């Protein structure tokens, strides 16, 4: 997300390098490039004007501090104004009401409301320790109700089953079921609707009046562009929204919705959907997102994600194994791949790294998308237990058997073996003290509270 916007903004800052002072002339040129970058990113024009008008008076004539370049001064100002534009952050979803607290999800067709409902339920269950009940009133999309029911089973929360095809009746049944089950939060997933569809907009107004929800959340697709912004305003007028969830923020989106939707509705962005899995929902922090947009990365979120998702026991076992001089084998490689998948894949991790590091790491991780990782795990699964422990046994006939078992070519097996040998060599360096030194260094950089291996 934001790759193109980050690239264009970096170019604007680079043009200020070497200047001793930020003047009206060089700032005007940089802001022209910023404006073009934001237009390409599909940011709403009123939002662009507001941002430029806020940045220019702060930047013109700003003195360059001894340790800074004009580009750094400019990027600091731009960062501050992006944060103001998207913020302030909401600490969390406000559930300070008598239970059951009712949360109504609304949005356009295809925005990802059903998956978002399950993601939100899982987050409330695990992070807030809430008892959650899910209900669907999407009687129009085939299998929508069944989809949410299966997601509810997957994450271990309740689901309202009904034979009714009347959304208002389903809402009444859901609220009664929530009271009877003594749940803390009831999440109602509504049907996707176009803001120009008067009949469907009338229906959601009736649902809102019937349910009287404590929270009305608008789920907007980060890739939807200007139409999503128009719909956000229409839904806000119809429902008096309390917050926004930006879905599909991990995709190849231009990012205009993220920069515009809060400005145009006046309502806070609460969460970002950063993947298809039910775990892929993050709190929204405008300062962190602004840093990512400007190519500075989001190291805080990256560390939080590692601390939350990394299996610290397995990491400690691998560290102990290496320090004892034992070889890194294919079993270890498979575990590392599965850990990366759990943390959102290579792309999800690189997206939070500073731009320069991300580009360098991306070159090293070329071809490490989710499908290729699954294929490499399949190759390892096709090996015998002995072959995983003893990669030196892999001769031509064994490679052919493994390739047939995994449904790949022998070249794919050779490519994985080459990558493995490179990693094995690196791990040997760690076993000589490099791992301990690296962990000590990371602990110092991340602060005293960061313990990579728990």
Same domain, 148 and 269: yes
Confirm whether 15 is domain-assigned: yes
Domain finish residue from 86, 112, 140:
86
- Has residue 326 been placed in a domain? yes
Based on the fold, state whether residues 277 and 338 are members of the same structural domain: no
Give the residue, 429 or 165, on which the prediction is more confident: 165
Cβ contacts of 231 within 8 Å, gap of 6 or more: 107, 108, 194, 195, 220
- Residue 435 resides in a domain: yes
Same domain, 141 and 282: yes
Instruction: Compute the distance between CA of residue 92 and CA of residue 78 in angstroms, rounded to an integer.
Output: 26
Over residues 363-385, the mean pLDDT reads 76
Does residue 397 register a pLDDT over 60? yes
Q: Return the pLDDT at 92.
A: 73
* pLDDT tens, position by position, 51-64: 899 988 888 766 55
Q: Is the pLDDT of residue 15 over 50?
A: yes
- Asked whether residue 369 carries a pLDDT value surpassing 80, the answer given is no
CATH code of the domain containing 62: 1.20.120.140
**39 and 186 both lie in a single domain:** no
Q: Which pLDDT score is estimated for 438? A: 45
Q: Say whether both 210 and 319 belong to one domain.
A: no
Please report which confidence band the pLDDT of residue 85 belongs to, taking 50, 70 and 90 as the band edges: confident
Question: Are residues 216 and 106 part of one domain?
Answer: yes
Indicate whether 451 belongs to any domain: no
Q: What mean pLDDT is predicted for residues 418-441?
A: 62
Q: Is residue 406 part of a domain?
A: yes
Please indicate, yes or no, if residue 238 is contained in any of the structural domains: yes
Predicted confidence (pLDDT) per residue in 246-278, tens digit? 888 775 555 676 678 888 888 888 998 888 888
The CATH number for 240's domain is 3.40.50.300
User: Which band of pLDDT confidence, cut at 50, 70 and 90, is reported for residue 45?
Assistant: confident
Answer yes or no: do 319 and 412 share one domain: yes
Clarify whether residues 439 and 333 are in a common domain. Answer: yes
Are residues 129 and 258 located together in one domain of the fold? Answer: yes
Mean pLDDT throughout 388-393? 88
Asked whether residue 149 carries a pLDDT value surpassing 90, the answer given is yes
pTM of the model: 0.66
At residue 322, the pLDDT reads 55
Look at residue 436 and tell me whether its pLDDT is greater than 60.
no
Domain assignment of residue 292, yes or no: no
* Same domain for 355 and 267: no
pLDDT band at residue 27 under the 50/70/90 scheme: confident
**Last-in-domain residue among 86, 112, 128:** 86
Token pair belonging to 295: 């190519």
- Asked if residue 241 has pLDDT above 80, the reply is yes
> Based on the structure, what is the number of domains in the chain?
3
Last residue of a domain, one of 286, 319, 335: 286
How much is the mean pLDDT over the chain? 77
Q: Kindly state whether residues 257 and 360 are assigned to the same domain.
A: no
pLDDT one-digit tens code per residue, 278-321? 888 988 888 877 777 775 544 444 445 555 555 556 656 655 66
User: Is position 296 within any domain?
Assistant: no
d(C-alpha 448, C-alpha 360), whole Å: 28
pLDDT exceeds cutoff 90 at 17? no
Peptide bond into 100 cis (omega under 30): yes
Q: Are residues 78 and 170 in the same domain?
A: no
Range of the domain at 409: 301-446
């Amino acid at each position: 997300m934001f790759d193109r916007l980050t690239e264009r903004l970096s170019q604007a800052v680079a043009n200020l390098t070497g200047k001793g002072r930020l003047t009206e002339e060089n700032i005007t040129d940089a802001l022209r490039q910023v404006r073009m970058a934001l237009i390409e990113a599909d940011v709403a024009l009123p939002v662009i004007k507001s941002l430029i008008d806020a940045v220019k008076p702060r930047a013109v004539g700003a003195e360059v501090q001894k340790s800074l370049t004009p580009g750094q001064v400019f990027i600091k100002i731009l960062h501050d104004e992006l944060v103001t534009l998207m913020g302030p952050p909401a600490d969390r979803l406000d559930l300070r009401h008598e239970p059951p607290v009712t949360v109504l999800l609304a949005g356009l067709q295809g925005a990802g409301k059903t998956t978002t409902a399950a993601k939100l339920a899982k987050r409330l269950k695990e992070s807030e320790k809430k008892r959650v009940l899910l209900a669907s009133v999407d009687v129009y999309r085939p299998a929508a109700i069944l989809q949410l029911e299966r997601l509810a089973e997957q994450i271990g929360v309740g689901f309202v089953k009904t034979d009714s095809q009347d959304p208002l009746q389903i809402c009444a049944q859901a609220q009664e079921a929530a009271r009877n089950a003594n749940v803390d939060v009831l999440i109602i997933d509504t049907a996707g609707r176009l803001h120009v569809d008067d009949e469907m907009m009338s229906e959601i107004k009736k649902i809102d009046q019937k349910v009287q929800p404590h929270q009305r959340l608008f789920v907007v697709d980060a890739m939807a562009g200007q139409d999503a912004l128009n719909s956000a305003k229409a839904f806000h007028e119809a429902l008096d929204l309390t917050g926004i969830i930006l879905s599909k923020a991990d995709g190849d989106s231009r990012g205009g919705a993220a920069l515009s939707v809060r400005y145009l509705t006046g309502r806070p962005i609460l969460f970002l959907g950063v993947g298809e899995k039910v775990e892929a929902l993050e709190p929204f922090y405008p300062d962190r997102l602004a840093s990512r947009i400007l190519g500075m990365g989001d190291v805080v979120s990256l560390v939080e994600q590692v601390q939350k998702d990394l299996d610290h026991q397995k990491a400690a076992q691998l560290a102990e194994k290496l320090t004892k001089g034992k070889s890194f084998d294919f079993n270890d490689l498979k575990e590392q791949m599965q850990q990366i998948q759990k943390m959102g894949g290579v792309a999800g991790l690189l997206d939070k790294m500073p731009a320069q590091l991300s580009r360098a790491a991306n070159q090293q991780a070329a071809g490490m998308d989710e499908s290729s990782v699954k294929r490499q795990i399949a190759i390892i699964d096709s090996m015998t237990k002995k072959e995983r422990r003893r990669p030196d046994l892999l001769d031509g006939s064994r490679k052919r058997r493994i390739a047939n078992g995994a449904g790949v070519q022998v070249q794919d097996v050779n490519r994985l073996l080459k990558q493995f040998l490179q990693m094995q060599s690196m791990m040997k360096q760690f076993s000589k003290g490099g791992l301990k030194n690296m962990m000590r260094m990371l602990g110092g950089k991340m602060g005293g509270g960061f313990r990579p291996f728990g």
